[in-house]
Amino acid sequence: MGKSWACSEGYRKASGTLLLFTDADTKHSSNAISLAVAHLLSAGLDALTAGPRILCFDFWTRIVLPVISTFLHTQFSALRANDPSNKFGYFFGSFFIIKRETYDAVGTHEAVRHEIIEDGALGAMVKQSGHKMKVVRGDHLIDAVWARDASTLWNAIKRTMVPVYRQSRSAAMGITAATTFLFFMPLLLLAYSALHTASGYAGVDSSILLWASLAALLLVYTVGIIECRAMQVGIRYAVLIPLGGLVMTLGFLSGLIHAKSDTAVSWRNRDYAMKDRFRSPAAT
């Protein structure tokens, strides 16, 4: 269903030896495809995917997407994906080129028809099957849309957590706990140490706590400013990084709840029932 079905239909009608998969709301520069094909052929790759520049349209996407981007950089490292000795891999659904023979060998989109994030799953299969792939930066060549408003943003965050939960429940819960700690513990420690200092009970421990919390907040805001600049979002939105972290954390929690239930996750005007995403290999 959905995009996987559309990609399969396109594949059946295509005749070329290279296949480019993209999204309807993605914009490519005039030389993006020629550069990607040249890189794939010169490096002897079986597949190549380019990370786009994510466009932000409203207030909520501007404060949340820089936080999400930071999370994705840690969980989906290009260094890991480009390491031949590492089985980790993924595709950006907005732009990936793959040899037809490689696409056939991994089972096409049919093999990921039950995945809610089918592009990531397909890239993982390509890497795990021993094919040569590479992740490159394409933010100067490709523009993509991850969310258009608060509603699609919320569902996109929930959707991100579902495949993580599928792979490892403990990892999904650990990531949610870690993001909560990262964005809110420094604020709590800062408030606690500041209260003790103001009350005249400040000792060595509270002073250390105060400076540690300030250092942690500085790190969070520095990363936020870097991501806001990279995504061409006004730096003023970096001030609201804790609010963006709260939305992301709540979205992750909601994703965990949906991943464990029979309810559906809405994405691109389609409802994906989680019970269909957890079928056994025999059932698929």
Structural domain tally of the chain?
2
pLDDT of 278: 46
For residues 6 and 137, state if they share a domain: yes
C-alpha to C-alpha distance for 175 and 177, rounded to whole angstroms:
5
For residues 259 and 128, state if they share a domain: no
For residues 138 and 208, state if they share a domain: no
Outline where DSSP puts E strands in the chain: 18-22, 27-28, 47-51, 53-55, 95-99, 133-137, 142-145, 264-267, 270-273
pLDDT of 197: 64
For residues 112 and 207, state if they share a domain: no
Q: Which two tokens stand for residue 41?
A: 């052929």
**Residue 60 belongs to some domain of the structure:** no
DSSP letter at 50 equals E
**Residue 85 belongs to some domain of the structure:** yes
Outline where DSSP puts E strands in 61-147: 95-99, 133-137, 142-145
For residues 192 and 269, state if they share a domain: yes
pTM: 0.77
The enclosing domain of 80 has a CATH number of 3.90.550.10
pLDDT of 283: 35
Low-confidence ranges of the chain (pLDDT < 70): 194, 196-207, 209-210, 260-284
**Residue 161 belongs to some domain of the structure:** no
pLDDT of 282: 34
For residues 113 and 188, state if they share a domain: no
C-alpha to C-alpha distance for 154 and 107, rounded to whole angstroms:
31
Task: Compute how many other C-beta atoms are within 10 angstroms of the C-beta atom of residue 252.
Answer: 24
- Structural domain including 35 reads 2-55+76-147
pLDDT in tens, 77-123: 888 899 999 999 999 999 999 999 999 999 999 999 888 788 989 99
